[in-house]
Amino acid sequence: MKAIQWHDTHITILNQQALPHKTEYLELKHIEDVWDAIVTLKVRGAPAIGMTAAYGLALAAQSYETDDLATFHTELKRDRDYLASSRPTAVNLFWALDRLTKSVANATSVNEAKTTLIHEAICMQIEDEDVCRRIGEHALSLFQDGDRIMTICNAGAIATARYGTALAPFHLAKEKGITLHAYACETRPVLQGARLTAWELSEAGVDVTLITDNMAAQTMKAKHISAVIVGADRIAANGDTANKIGTFGLAILAKAFNIPFYVAAPLSTIDLQTKTGDDIPIEERAKEEVTHIGGVRIAPDVNVYNPAFDVTPHELITGIITEKGIIFGDYETKLPTLFEEVLA
């Protein structure tokens, strides 16, 4: 299943808001469609957001009518900033858009620039599949046959090009005949764990047990959870990690039960320009996500605090798993070394 596909005149995305009730694909024909799909969580997951935005920028550029390169770059910058305004926390969004704009910096014609944008976006999706598989291989080396592993939100195949990040070891274990038992937190308020992770893993034939978020501590104790693995939306230079709301609480519980807590993410999620988690902007979303479920009100009309993410301090993270390998502790020193070969 490909959650994002490029076509000459539009982008096709898997509508994650419709899951698990139906598998529905949407056609995004205009940049406004792309912006809306990101904001309304029809596409979500940091890598998928980045890829969709990249395709959206390439799509928008195809409609520019100018033959003047300076005018082209001005319009591209305008549309880049518009897409960047969709969601503030996931750094992959900005990384992808900046990579695309840089790819045409030396273009000698508008036609060349338009073609380059499409090729660069396609390359990003191809690379992401390989990156996710390597993350999964590294993560799988940490687990044993029969392990019971807890996760939150959905850092899976539908949030990436394939395999996912935190869910990649489950998919690869299934390919290799290794049994891993997943315990998926439902992930209030939007229920990405219940709607998406439980659906994705069950469709793949992975043994998955769904729990409500407030069952995590009891589940860790009663079910002898072996480890916790989560994705990330932004990792600061010191290792502090922003991820779906509820992740910080899981890390505290893992510490209390002496359970390893792993973060799985590509290099594109690491933001060395952001020094600590205190510098990561935390998106706050509409109160209706908390007061309503499926359009039905479940709470009175009161004040609501609805942060979409929280930040797990680096000292609670056992290891960060990337396509380059696993690092344990001393993240401020070790994270920059992951980029040395990339930048060389």
Strands 319-322 and 325-327: antiparallel
Nearest-CA neighbor of 196 among 45, 35, 27, 46? 45
Q: Which residues are paired to 264 by β-bridges?
A: 321
Q: Which residues make Cβ contacts (< 8 Å) with residue 55, sequence separation at least 6?
A: 4, 6, 11, 34, 121
- Grouping H, G, I as helix, E, B as strand and the rest as coil, residue 264 is strand
pLDDT recorded at residue 304: 98
Quick one: average pLDDT of 11-28? 95
The H or E element containing residue 242 is strand 241-244
Beta strand pairing status for 181-185 and 148-151? parallel
Residue 254 dihedral angles phi and psi, to the nearest 5°: -60, -40
176 marked as binding residue: no
CA distances from residue 162 to 69, 99, 157, 279, 318 in whole angstroms, order as listed: 35, 21, 4, 30, 25
Residue 343 within a domain = no
Per-residue HEC secondary structure of 45-79 comes to: CHHHHHHHHHHHHHHHHCCCCCCCHHHHHHHHHHH
pLDDT at 344: 46
The per-residue pLDDT for 2 is 84
Specify the pLDDT at position 90.
79
Same domain for 124 and 201, yes or no, is: no
42 domain-assigned: yes
Is 136 within the bounds of a domain?
no
325 torsion bin: left (phi>0), alpha (psi -120 to 50), beta (else): left
pLDDT tens by residue, 61-77? 999 999 999 999 999 99
Query: Does 87 appear as a known binding residue?
Result: yes
Kindly indicate the confidence band of residue 294, based on its pLDDT and cuts at 50, 70 and 90: confident
Q: Give the total number of structural domains in the chain.
A: 2
The residue among 131, 164, 194 that closes a domain is 131
What pLDDT does residue 342 have?
Answer: 58
Query: What is this structure's pTM?
Result: 0.91
Is the same domain home to 215 and 105?
no
Classify residue 344: in a domain, yes or no: no
* Among candidate residues 84, 99, 131, the one where a domain is terminated: 131
Same domain, 220 and 147: yes
The annotation status of 243 as a binding-site residue, yes or no, is yes
Considering the domain architecture, whether residues 197 and 275 belong to the same structural domain is answered as yes
93 shares its domain with 185: no
Catalytic residues: 233
| Residue 228 shares a structural domain with residue 318 | yes
Residue 342 falls inside a structural domain: no
- Is residue 275 marked as binding? no
Q: Is residue 182 part of a domain?
A: yes
pLDDT above 50 for 47: yes
Q: What is the per-residue pLDDT for 340?
A: 87
Same domain, 108 and 147: no
- Considering only the C-alpha atoms of the chain, give the largest distance between any 2 of them, rounded to a whole number of Å: 66
- Asked, for residue 249, whether it belongs to a domain, the answer is yes
Of 245, 237, 313, 312, whose CA–CA distance to 270 is shortest? 237
59 and 181 both lie in a single domain: no
Whichever domain contains 108, its CATH number is 1.20.120.420
Is 46 labeled as ligand-binding?
A: yes
Structural domain range at position 313: 141-337
Q: The CATH number of the domain where 228 resides is what?
A: 3.40.50.10470
Looking at residue 89, its pLDDT comes to 82
The verdict on 175 and 303 lying in the same domain is yes
**Percent above pLDDT 90 for the chain:** 95
* Residue 150 shares a structural domain with residue 170: yes
Same domain membership, residue 146 and residue 127 = no
Question: Is 184 found in the same domain as 111?
Answer: no
Q: For 118-165, write each residue's pLDDT tens digit.
A: 999 999 999 999 999 999 999 999 999 999 999 999 999 999 999 999
- Where among 94, 113, 131 does a domain terminate? 131
Q: Positive or negative CA dihedral for 125, 15, 24, 26?
A: negative
